[in-house]
Structures are given as C-alpha cells and as structure tokens.
Structure 1
Amino acid sequence: MHDRSLPVFERLDLLEWRLCRQVARLALYRPILTLFRVVSRLGDWPVWLLLTLSLPFHHVQGGWLMLEFGLAAGAGALLYRALKTRLCRERPFITFTTIQCTMPPLDRYSFPSGHTLHAVLFASLTAQQLPELAILVTPLAMLIALSRVILGLHYVSDVLAGALLGLGLAEVAILSLESLRPAGLPDDWQTLAHGWYRHPLHPLYLKPTALTPLQADQALVTLDTTLDWQRPSLSVHGKTHPIPRRQVWMGDAGARYRYSGSLFEPAPWRPMAWHLGELARHAINRELSAQPGQERHIDQHFNSLLANRYADGNDRMGWHSDNEPELGDRPIVLALSLGRERPLRFKGHPRSPYAQDPAFNLWLPHGSLLVMGRGCQDRLHHALPPRKLEGVRISLTYRQLLTASR
C-alpha cells in the first residue's frame, strides 16, 4: 500500500479545493445538512438492499434480477476498495482544513466515491430492467453523489470517477449476466428454482439442462441406434400420407393409442427410455415441491411414450394438441429433447380465450425438459415447423394413458 497519494492527485487537489469548499458551505444551512445526511445514509446500503429484495414483486424474472444486482454490487465493492487502498487520495477535509467535514467518514481515503459508484450502478440497472422505477432511483442516485461533496467527504473528481465506474459495471453486468440466461428463452419467462423457467401465463415449464451433456449424448446415440424407427401413414382431412418424421410408440403392455385414424400397439419399454422418463418425472416433482399450489405431483410413472425422430430441419410436426380422450382431462405431457436444438412453436387453441394471442417460439436445447402442465392442451396448440437446420433431433414425449384405445 502507498503511504502517500500519487502526484496527479496532489495537482487535482489544488485545482478542486476551492470548488469543493464552496459546495461544502451549503452544509451550513441546517435543512440542507439534514437532507444530505439522510441521503448519504441511504446510500450506505439500506435503499439498495430494499430495492434488490423487492425485485420479485416488480418483475416476473425477479430471482434472476436479484442475482444480477447482487453480483454487480459485490463486484463494485471489491473494485472501489481495491482502488482506494492503492491510490490513497486523502479526503478533502484532511488535506484542506478550510473544508468542513459534516459527517463521519467510513475511512481515510476518497478516490473513487463508493457511494456514487453503487448509486449509479443500481440506477443504471434499474433503468435497464425496471424503467418504471427509474423516475425514483435516478434522482436519488444524483442526490447521493452530490451529498458526498456537500458533506466534505469527496472531491468532485472522486464522484465523477465513481459514476463512470458504476456505469461501466452496469453495462458489463447487463451484457455478461444476461448471456448466462438460455439464448432461446423468451424474456418474459419467470425464473424458478433448480434451473427451471415458467411461462408467465400458461402452465409451461422448461429446464434447459435437465440432463448433463454426457447423459444427453449417451441417450441420443443409444436411442437413435437401437429403436425400431417407423414411418407410418396417417389420415388427415380424408387423405392418407406418411408422416414427415419417424416415430416409435412405447409403453406398458396394453397401452394402445389412437390418433389421426391409426391405432398404435406399444413396443416394450427400453431401459434407457424408461430411465429418462423417471428422471424427468422426479425433476419436475422436485420443482413442484418448491412451488406449492402450481401443480399436483406426478405420483405414478408415465405408462407410455411417443418418440419422434427428426432427421433434419425438413422433418416436422403439424399443429395439434395432445388432448385425445385416452389421456383424460387436462393431461400432463413431459417432453425431453435430444440432439439438434429446434424451436417448438405455440399458439392459442382456437376454442380457448387465447385464440387471438400472438404465437411464440420456444427453443429446446439438447438435454432439455419441457413440461406441458395441466390445462396446457386446452389453451395451446403446438407444432415443430420445418427449418433450414442440419442434424438429428429426437423428442421423447411421456404421457399417462388412462384408458387404452380400441
């Protein structure tokens, strides 16, 4: 640690002291002194802690924003402490006895202003993420910065440096921390516990990393090479044609399934497919335990599975809902995605109140788990439209047949 300030600060001190003395004289007026003492105390930490804790009440991604604000504040504290203890610019009231200090300082050194750094940091993050609160937070940040000079604790350049550092940290936080959020996830999805996300309106849950990369790779290779993939013909609008993908219907004995005019007898469970279904069921049950009242637990194993193989972006699935009578009322469907990431597209069910809502895409990464919860099939249609993409994708959709088809 230096035992004296750098020569550049000695020159700056001489240039700034008269301005700092004039500003600090405002503290001679009792109302001004009281106001800026309170403002400065708020800038210590209370207001920023309250702002961070209130984020879940203001934004559907409140948990994610709490992480962003907290990490940025921690980085700011480390940065300004490191600069203060190495640059060692003494506070103005220490160097110039004509500048009165009207509030006890936290330490001896002044460059940069940590209060200003954090005030500008939080104001910038708030303006970016919660613009409706910026009208409150931005004026407070300006008052905090001004208070540090009025109270004789900082030079003007200390405050300007703190403001620039706060702006820079906010920009870094927005760019770097937002990049950790799954790229294909819409901005309005709510962050839940254990790596889950939830649609703000519909019972759709997504865990982008339900499987480890090794688990996902092994599952893709095993199922792609061992299942007896078929391309059956289905009747749609009175016409019969082969489906634009390959599939396997698998499940418990007797789990027959009929759709689009065809009856499918289940192939016996493969160990890998069974294991993945149980892994997915336990994963969503763990999340439901942390979200009481959202959905009921899935107590029984899924007795059937429709596996679809898309060789490339030309293979596709048309608009539909998984609402066959055999699945019962408001069924739950679990969908594990393996291989090439592709977007599943959703739109309002034509007979639902959401029929006129805009359609949206949900990209499903390799090893991700999508849960279409109770009521989802009544609200939404979904499809896998063609895309100019290379690479195999396998979708494993687990369901519970209540009655076998005949």
Structure 2
Amino acid sequence: MRSPVCRVGLIALLILLIPGAALAYLSDVAGHWSAVWLSALEARGIIAGDRAGRFYPDDPLTRAELARIAVTGLGYGTEALALQGVPSRFTDVAPDDPLAGYVELLWELGLTEGYPDGRFRPEAPLTRVELAAMLVRAAGLEQRAAVLRSARLSYRDAGEIPAWAVGAVAAAAEAGLMSGDGDGYYRPWALVTRAEGAAAVAKWLDQYGLLFDLEGTLVAFDPREGEGTVRTPMGEEHSISLAVDAAILRGGERVLPPALQVADQVSLILNDAGQVRFVEAWYADLLAEGLEPAGGNGVWATLGTGQRRRLWVQPGALVFVNGRPATLAEALGQGPTYMALDVKTEEVRYLDAVRTPFGGRVAVVEDDRIWLEDGDGFLRYDLASDAILVDAGRRVEFYEIAEGDQVAFALDGDGRITYLEIVR
C-alpha cells in the first residue's frame, strides 16, 4: 500500500534541492541543445558525469536512470538511499540494484505503476510516450490528460501514438514539457536520450519554481568582484556574489563573468553559503515606435511594420523615459521604445522610451544654452544641470552640439532641456 506521500500533496512536501560538491562541468555537453538544462541539473546535484566528466547526452535513458533523476530532483535522494537493500515490489528489481531505492520511491510518489505482470524493466530504454505519461503524473496533469484523451494531435505521425497515450502527449505538449521535432513528427516509440529525459525533468522542476533559487533582471554587476544586484519580476532587489567555481551560461554558451551584461535576464542557483553556483543568462528585446495603454499593466506596442502587439509589463519592470526612471504612464506615447522581454513569459521586464516632443535647428550655441531657429527669430532653451545629450546612440558633451544641427528634445517643468538627441 502506498505511503501518504501522494501526488496531490507533492508540492507542499517538496524540500529544497540539495546542491552537490564543486561543479565538475560536464565535458561533453558544450554546444549541445540541452546544455543549459543539464548544467542547471548538475549545479543542483541531480545529475553528474563519470570520472572523466562525460554525461553521454545522446545515449538512451533507461527507466531506472529516469527514476534516479526524477526522485533526486524532487529532493528525495536521501530517502531513496535508505530504501536500498529493501525487497522491491517489482519482481525484476533486485534489492542490491544500486537504483532500487529510486525505483521504489518513484512508485511511492505515484509517478509510475510498472507493468501489469509486476515488472518494472529497470534496464529497458524509455520511449517518448512513456516519458510523457510519467511527466503528466508528476505534474499533476492527469485530469487535463483525461480531457484531452480524444484530442486530434497535429503531428505527422499522430496515428502511431497509442490511444492510451494521446491525452498524456497532448497535456505534456500543452504544458511545455515535451513537443515534437522540427519536422512535425512526435516519434512516440523513439528511445528517449539521456539529454531529453533530463531536460524534461528540468522543465518540470522549473515550472514549479524548484530548479532556480532566484530569477530576474541583472541591474548591476561588477565582473572583477563578481558581485551585483538582481531585480525580480515583482521589483524586489537582491545582492548576489559569484562562487569561485560558478558555471555561467549566456545564450546557452559557457562564458566568463565579463560576458554578463546589465539588463540580462538571469536564473540563478545558489550554494550552501548563499553564493551563486550557476547562472543562466538570456536577452530578448523588441523595438517599438510607440506605446498605447491596454488596461492594467498592459500596453499596445506599435512595431516598425505597423503591426500592433499587446504586451504585459511586469510589476517590477524597470521603466525609463529619456534615460531617467519613470512610471509606465509616463512612457506611453509615440517615439522609439526599447524593451527587454522575459524569455519565458514574453512579459516586458525593462523598458526605455525616448520621448522628444520638441525639436528644431540649432542657430547658436553658447554657455549652457542653445538658440533654435524660429521663422525670423530665435527661441532660447537652457540646459538642465543633469541633461542627457545623445548623438547616434552615444552620450556626448555639450560642446559637441554644433550650429546647424537638427535636434529633438524634452523639457522639464521649468522649461529646461533634460534630454536632447542630435538627429542625423
């Protein structure tokens, strides 16, 4: 009989994932499509390479190996080891099998049923439909799978998916846990590789917020000291410090600390001392020609093609207008608007808008003021002491403004120029 650790209560019972020893850096995953997921799992102590640091990502994954990854990922590695040597409920899992405890606990957690004949087939390679079924149980998506059991799947080989797996395949795809290949095939009976199985478990853990300790926007970073500040989507700021053995990936490639940039989106794993053990950094941006309100934290962004796209702005998003902190309401209007997006949700996490409602041709430059042509006369504008001056995207000094330059600018409440851009 199953212990009270049921799927309904899994989320409340999940404990912190236990980091392992110093990272060994899997030697054969560099450049592999799964590098980010595998490196994160390694940082969590969920997977490891052999003595040479190899993981063999493209080898088939056995059912017992998946049990170890899933159980360890959920934080039950210690409990699994305690079950080693205990007679298994499965007829083909020997008590002295090094993975026996993981297989037993996988059953206790309700993530596997085994086969009707009482076997588990621990050394058998896992198929994609079997993995989909396990992920659906692990994610608590059985009811959704039941609703989708008659779904019409769009895969080119949908006819090869067994009827009992249709709901699980559809639910796993809907939840972003598994999908078909780039050619439109699902390959239901294909063997799951070690990388595919591990990455699927990592995505599942990530969806429950169990893979990373801190996520947000890097708002400050000193690569020499390895210290910085991360701002969460809700606006909370946390100081961070890199561990000496930190693994850093940016855009899926292994990099050194200087490659991290302010405004990068980062996902972090910490060690026992609270230092950053693993960094995953990404950057996705969007340039719009203006913003209109769309209710709440929503905006309509007008793109260069004329298309309008609705976006949601994170509550803790960094918003700037003309290089200065501003509210979202102040950023509305027409003009170049640069946005950094969350790669997972596509929400806006950083917004920098240029709003220059005034402009003209410079007639005279003197001291800290300019005179603009105005028909037969001139208009005088003083510069604010902290005015931002820009030419071709770079900050410039006042003396670089020349007579005859076409400029666009914004004014403060006292009529002084706070932002000026030379228009080429």
Shorter-chain TM-score: what band?
under 0.3
Give the strand-richer structure, 1 or 2.
2
TM-score normalised per structure 1? 0.25
TM-score normalised per structure 2? 0.25
Q: More relative contact order in 1 or in 2 (CA 8 Å, sep 6+)?
A: 1
Give the helix-richer structure, 1 or 2.
1
- Which structure's CA Rg is the greater one? 1
